[in-house]
Amino acid sequence: MVKVLKGVIIKCDSTVKQVIYKLNERKQIIIEDLDDTHLFINEKELEEVKIEVEKLLEENTYKTDLPPPSDK
């Protein structure tokens, strides 16, 4: 029997790929790991992946309270 799944191919670095693998533990997101930088994921989960990756990047972005340098 043939099973058809609708998905999308995403290109990502290894860090983002690990985040997606972590999400995959909770929910079936990854259909196929294609190579070092490409994943074939469930199309229905694309928005959740975008939100979670964005959230992680926001948490790990360095923020400073210093004012921006002045142009002289």
pLDDT tens-place string over residues 2-43: 988 899 999 999 888 998 999 999 999 999 999 999 999 999
- Tell which wins on pLDDT, 50 or 63: 50
10 bridge partner residues: 39
Q: Please, what are the domains in the chain?
A: 1-44 (3.30.70.1220)
Query: How many whole angstroms separate alpha carbon 9 and alpha carbon 62?
Result: 30
Q: Is 69 or 54 the better-scoring residue by pLDDT?
A: 54
At residue 36, φ and ψ (nearest 5 deg) are -65, -25
pLDDT at 46 over 80: yes
DSSP class per residue in 19-67 = HHHHHHHHS--EEEE-SSSEEEEEGGGHHHHHHHHHHHHHHTS----SP
What is the predicted pLDDT for the residue at 31?
Answer: 95
Categorize the per-residue pLDDT at 50 as very low, low, confident or very high, splitting at 50, 70 and 90: very high
